[in-house]
Amino acid sequence: MTSEVADDDWMRAAIAEAQLAEAKGEVPVGAVIVHEGQIIGRGHNERESSQDPTQHAEMIAIRDAAEQLRSWRLIDTALYVTLEPCPMCAGALVNARVPRVIWGCDDPKAGATRTLYNIGSDSRLNHRFDCVPGVLRDECSALLREFFSAIRAKNTPRNGR
C-alpha cells in the first residue's frame, strides 16, 4: 500500500472523529494518531461541551496517544487532522515530538503549520515535523463549510422575523 493510500485511510478515520464532533454541535474537526499501523489516539473538538479552550481534536488525541504509549514522546507516530493545526496544537505537536503531521484543509484564520505560521518547520525550535497538507481536502473542507452554512442559515432572520 502506498503512503498516499494509507494517508487517505487514516484521514477517513479523522473525518469520522470530526463527524462525532458535529453530532455534538461542536465544530467538526477530528484527529487520530497512528503508531505502527494502529490508531493509538483519537480526538474531536469538545470546546463547547467542556467549556475548555484547550479541548481541540489534536490536544485530545495527543493526550490519548501519550497515555497509550505511557510516554510524552510520541516518536514514530503520525497525526492526521481534518483542519490545519492552530498555534497551540502545533506547539503541542513539537513538544510531543510527533514526526509527521497530515491535515485535510488549510486554516486561513489560525493555521500554524503552513498558512499563517510554520511552527512545525521552524529551525529555532528543538523539534520539527514533516508537514503533509491537503489529504482529502475537499471532504474535510466540505464538513466545515456545511457546518457553518447551517449555523448562518439558522441565525439569519427570515422576512423581518
**Cell numbers at residue 110, please?**
489560525
Adjacent-strand bridge partners of 101 = 79, 131
Active site residue 58: yes
CA distance 3 to 7: 6
> Residue 99 is placed in which grid cell?
514526526
Query: What's the length of the chain?
Result: 161
To the nearest 10 degrees (0 to 180), the angle between helices 87-95 and 57-69 is: 10
In the chain, the largest separation of any two C-alpha atoms, in whole Å, equals: 58
Q: Which of 17, 46, 58, 84 is catalytic?
A: 58
Q: Which three cell numbers stand for residue 130?
A: 514533516
The CA distances from residue 63 to 31, 71, 91, 139, in Å, are 12, 10, 14, 26
- Positions annotated as catalytic residues are 58
